[in-house]
Chains A and B, each alone.
Chain A
């Protein structure tokens, strides 16, 4: 199992661990289970591209996002 802070390339979000508010904050930014994002910079902070926006994610948050790499 890898989390976003150690992933690279295109990844799919599998799970977000954390409270309700936390999960909602992320999904407002377009980050939720099932979503495919591209890691632009491995950081920290990790920078990902999702749809047409880029989002910077601090290490603490990135560790709570479980992902799988799509084209390693």
Chain B
């Protein structure tokens, strides 16, 4: 059996290539000894069984994440047949990376996105490149599936020893003699070079004696020429320049994308980006719950259109389905505790997962399109000026924007951030952003509590501004608490191109499936717990206990219990109140709650900012993997929401 491994930097089209080669035959496997999942596929090519492994993308040899570490260790291990993907869109940088791999091990080089090169008038002389790199080079266009058979053929050739591969040797010029000395000590030129660069992993592979020899050589280079790492990088860079000069011919073609870029980079850029982002959100939300399009229809007096939209929105259809399912079951099943559990515990839990799912799916899809088209990097650039005030980069505008729709995919979107410190800060602060579920409650309460439409609108706009400020200050505060440095933007701008629907869909499905399994089980668990509390008849007791904490604001036990239920999912606050008061007429519920103006405002503030829904907590945990951080942020948020609500109450009850 032939084992082929794909190595690439992010954005090189590795996922597309993998997907193109094996389609639906792929499965997720655990990397031996690590808790990292990799995609694998098994298939036959010319009667030979092949296992293809999609190794995690790696930015450079200076790896930070566990995932990247796997790929790096694989490169040093020299197992199997390695295929390095070179990104046709940034030939220089990705060949620079490929060269480092070729110094360490044999590998077949694939130059992907050949169509892009053609379009830009770039001609790659494959034979010349083969000669310079000393290995097989294949041109592919992964999106169209061009060059894939040829690649697999070359892999089989390599496995059968039909390719005469010799390890790449770069002439390190002025420090060459030092590299040769290191090579003699280590016994392998590739590892010797990496060790001289100060690579921890390379140093860990050699004996203690060799390590101290290498250190001596490094010191000598430092004394004579300067930092050895820098010297090696520069020489390698010159080598790549030479290779490309002799094998790549470019006919200058002007790029229409430059005009679009000049808008993004201008002063109006942030506005332009925000409008685009807003339109994307608007479209996905309307599809999902009908909001905010239904409000617009109502506003213009088209109530019928609004109702149709709501009924045929995804959430409307799904929740209708689950409602009728639980009604049907309760009429045919004999009365028992089991029936109660199914109808009031399990079905609503599964229903909550199901009604979350479309939004998660849509947002993941939109995000993958934006990511793949090259727009994401431009958004990041234009938003950077604003976010950098708070020590974040413009890339954070993404998780931020998505969280306005739903915190769950928002927290998942923190994966696009480059540094761990920014990821953690943003992920922990995300629950401060008012999501759609919270907005629905706020709109409902505001509409019944305040008679003036102006106050209704103003109170909600105010809460949104407050939520953005809280998000930014909280991310700053968490950063300060954990002594994390500020993050600065440093990204490569990929050229614009039309995203491949096939790949976007595949990525969307992978991410959304993870949502069902990782977050879904928490939702189901909480749903059953809530049912148990109701079933045992202790919900009143709990409501009373919580209301003791809210005594300064005089919230009733029923309201307090519904707030607890709101932790499960904020939209359940209303249904919990309906159950407690035995009516589904919201006007009646509110008259029974009998809230004063100050209490109402305090309630709105509290609902906006208190501990997010269970799904968000579960997602933030799976993204940060720290119970401690999560507990601190959840407690802090609860505390802050309480303080803000209390402050609102005190101020407005005096007025």
Contacts and interface: CB of A to CB of B under 8 A. Distances in A.
Interface in B436-495: 486-493
Interface in B531-562: none
A45 B93 CA distance: 21
A42 to B, nearest CB: 9
Contact of A28 (B59, B91, B384, B493): B59
A55 B493 contact: yes
Contacts of B388: 44-45, 58-60
A41 B384 CA distance: 13
B505 interface: no
Contact of A54 (B96, B198, B490, B493): B493
Contact of B394 (A28, A34, A45): A45
Given A25-B490, A27-B230, A43-B265, A58 B393 contact: yes
Of the four ranges (under 10, 10 to 19, 20 to 34, 35 or more), the interface on chain A belongs to 20 to 34
Given A45-B489, A55-B490, A56-B380, A32 B93 contact: no
Most buried by B among A20, A23, A53, A56: A56
B91 A29 contact: no
A21 B377 contact: no
Contacts of A44: 384-385, 388
A47 interface: yes
Nearest to B266: A41
Interface string B234-248: 100100010000000
Given A52-B90, A53-B93, A41 B492 contact: no
B230 A32 contact: yes
Contacts of B488: 57-61
B390 interface: no
Nearest to A55: B492
Given A28-B59, A32-B233, A57 B490 contact: yes
Given A58-B487, A59-B488, 17 more contacts: A28-B97, A41-B381, A43-B265, A45-B381, A45-B385, A45-B388, A45-B394, A51-B241, A52-B90, A53-B90, A53-B492, A56-B381, A56-B384, A56-B489, A57-B490, A59-B388, A60-B486
A52 B380 CA distance: 20
Majority SS at the chain A contact face: mixed
B586 interface: no
Contact of A45 (B90, B97, B227, B384): B384
Given A59-B388, A61-B488, A20 B92 contact: no
Contacts of A30: 92-93, 96, 237
A24 B229 contact: yes
A14 interface: no
Given A20-B229, A25-B62, A58-B384, A53 B92 contact: yes
Nearest to B122: A52
A29 B490 contact: yes
Among B89, B487, B489, the most chain A Cβ lie within 10 Å of the Cβ of B489
Interface of A: 20-21, 23-30, 32-35, 40-41, 43-45, 47, 51-61
Interface centre among A32, A43, A45 (most CB of B within 10 A): A45
A30 B233 CA distance: 9
Contact of B489 (A21, A24, A52, A58): A58
Contacts of B493: 47, 53-56
B62 A47 contact: no
A57 B388 CA distance: 12
B60 interface: yes
Nearest to A23: B230
Nearest to B380: A56
**Closest 6 A-B residue pairs measured CB to CB?**
A58-B489, A58-B488, A41-B265, A60-B488, A51-B92, A28-B60
B233 A47 contact: no
B206 to A, nearest CB: 20
Contacts of B487: 58
A52 B59 CA distance: 17
A35 B96 CA distance: 15
B157 to A, nearest CB: 30
Nearest to A47: B265
7 contacts: A20-B227, A23-B229, A40-B265, A47-B265, A51-B92, A55-B493, A58-B384
